[in-house]
Structure formats: C-alpha cells, structure tokens
Amino acid sequence: MQTKTKNNHIGRKISRIRELRGMKQETLAEELGISQQAVSNIENSEKVDDAKLEEVAKALGVTKEGIQQFNEESIFNYFNSFHDSSAFNTHCTFNPLDRLMDAYEENKKLYERLLQAEKDKIAYLEKLLNKK
C-alpha cells in the first residue's frame, strides 16, 4: 500500500517533472507568481487542488493529466526506445562526402564572386581617384 501512495503523490511528480525540465524551484515560483517556499510546499503535498495543478502544469509546459499520470518508469522506457535501432531507418540514402564536396564547391564559387566584386569596387574607386 505504501508504493501506491508514493506513486500518487502529486507533489513528488511535480518535483520530478520540474527537475527533468532543468527548472529550479525559484524559476517555477516566478512563473507562478508565488514564493519558492510555496513551490516547496506544493511539492511536499500529496494532493494539489485542480486549479493550482492546472497553473503548475502550464508553467512546466505539460498538461494536468500529464502530471497526474506521470510515471518514472515510462520516462526511462521512452528514452531507452531511442537505442532500439529497429525503430529508425539508419540507412543513409546519400553519400555524406558528396554533400560535403558540393558544399565546398558552392563556397568556392561564392568566394570567387565576392573576390570579383571587391576587384570591381577597387577598380571603380581607382577610376574615381584618377579623374580628380
């Protein structure tokens, strides 16, 4: 029964989501317009009223239901799924070296145009100086 209570502790879920988002209590407090101590009290509360939970969810960038259904195990399973190579097409459809060489050639052409523009500008300025 203790485990069930732990899993439904809304304050701990809020705290964990805040930590996963890289947010400090002070930052969340500023978003909510309350003190850091008030955020600490919310995170220590087993239950949070719906209106306050909605505000907290918005400040954290999640839904109220997302907080209520938050489960640490599901987060780890989600991130572990990125290591499953069958989920992604890892076959490259182009040669990266070809793309690199294309980019190099394009940069070379741009540099040559810039150099020519500078030469034209110098020639024009010399022509203006010679007229005086």
pLDDT band at 10 (very low <50, low <70, confident <90, very high): very high
| Overall average pLDDT of the 60-87 stretch | 71
pLDDT at 83 over 70: no
| Overall average pLDDT of the 112-118 stretch | 96
Contact 68, 10 (CB under 8 A): yes
pLDDT band at 119 (very low <50, low <70, confident <90, very high): very high
| Overall average pLDDT of the 81-87 stretch | 54
Of 37-41, 42-46, 58-62, 78-82, least confident by mean pLDDT is: 78-82
Contact 69, 63 (CB under 8 A): no
Rounded CA separation 80/73 (Å): 10
pTM, entire model: 0.54
